[in-house]
Amino acid sequence: MGLMLVALPTQARQTLDTPDAVAVVAVPDRERTRMNARVFDRVWSETRSQYYDPNLHGVDWGAARRTYRPEALAAADDRTLYRVMSRMLALLDDAHAGVISPAAARRQDGLRQPRAALGVTLRADPEDGSYLIEKVRPGSPAAEAGLDVGWRLLIDERSEWSPDRDVVEGQTLRLNLRDAAGQSRAVTVMPRILPPLAPFVADRSREGVLLLRIEGFEAGLGQWMGGQLANLEPATEVVIDLRGNPGGRLHEADAVLSCFLPVNRTWATRTVRSGRRVPLRTMGGCGDRQMPADNPVAILVDAESRSAAELTPAALQEAGRAVVVGEQTAGAVLISQETRLPDGGRLTLSRADFVTSGGVRLEKRGVRPDILAARSAEDSRAGRDPVLEAALAALRTAHDAATVSTAEVLAL
């Protein structure tokens, strides 16, 4: 797909100074327009026919097509096209309804492979179109260039890259950023091939504590967790860190729950587009374990814990099986499914509603922790983790209380 350049008269751009000046803007060629139409129409039609709410939350979807399709067809690049479709899907007020560009889909597919990268984790801010830096990988090009947590990537003519474009090894990029103090910074970063980060990490550095950090509910999580829990001393405290976890496979969430709950226990109900209600029951999948672990459990969450990273702590919290520590979660808990688009991009769409076994609808509400705690950017830079410390303190308190209760029984 290519671009054509068209000169517009000066009245189309009032910022030009000279009377005979013209503005040069990019418009799509025929091939680009055809692909824009295919992608937009696929997103629009699949939303109309497959979205979990057949009434589309009251949105006039025909009017949405008439409004946004001309803009989509006129898009000269992926960033513009996907921003138009994102604005349309935002009418549904559903965090699971969204699209990502082909470049973003390629990065997602290669997440667990060596690849060219900057070494930052970004979160889009729909208010101003900037991207908040949530993590900076130690030793990465971004870290070496001085980028920090809490900075924002500004998408304008001074930035040579946006998340809708590929990252190329050795291709220097000039980025326009705003630091935590609000100061503008121009930074040059050269991407290079970085090895993949592990999706699941076990930390046994604290005596009597097993800390399980889960980046996403990816394939193999249940098997891995079962292996970590195998032959674990009953008194060992288990802390599951789901902070920043975007969710993932429903099957793997069920496998995690099966590590701590009996098989065939109902933990939620989903309601599909037809209105049929389907109970979700633990099905096993926690490695080779035959019985659930009975170790004390704490789960760490924050405002970026989403989807499966919300329904899992909610189910264990309702079962009285874990203490949840951190911040209120995102409240993005509809059950979704992805569809690949004709250009290689991706549509995510909610296919079913979800309520917990206690009848709580977590969408737009989230999970309220038993203990509220937060980790600031300053804490991260200083290597402090008050959320983890609060969880460990809660587990110690529960253990001490149980010990006292046992002693009182024996004294009778």
Express each pLDDT in 288-297 by its tens digit: 888 999 999 9
Q: How many other β-carbons are positioned within 10 Å of the β-carbon of residue 344?
A: 15
**How much is the pLDDT for 27?**
76
The distance of Cα 2 from the centroid of its chain, to the nearest Å, equals 32
Q: Locate CATH 2.30.42.10 in the chain.
A: 114-194
Q: Are 263 and 282 in contact (CB under 8 A)?
A: yes
Low-confidence ranges of the chain (pLDDT < 50): 1-23, 404, 406-407
The per-residue b/e assignment along 229-245, b for 16 or more CB within 10 angstroms, e otherwise, is: beeeeeeebbbbbbbbb
**How much is the pLDDT for 25?**
55
How many C-alpha atoms does 346 have within 13 Å on its Cβ side? 15
Which option is the CATH number for 114-194: 1.20.120.1200, 2.60.15.10, 2.30.42.10, 1.10.287.10?
Answer: 2.30.42.10
Q: Locate CATH 3.90.226.10 in the chain.
A: 200-402
Please, which residues have CB within 8 angstroms of residue 37's CB and are 6 or more apart in sequence? 69, 72, 73
Residue ranges of E strands in 60-119: 98-100, 115-117
**How much is the pLDDT for 1?**
38
pTM (predicted TM-score): 0.84
**How much is the pLDDT for 410?**
61
Which option is the CATH number for 200-402: 3.40.50.300, 3.40.50.10490, 3.20.20.80, 3.90.226.10?
Answer: 3.90.226.10
Which of 101, 189, 95, 195 lies closest to 145 in space, CA to CA? Answer: 189
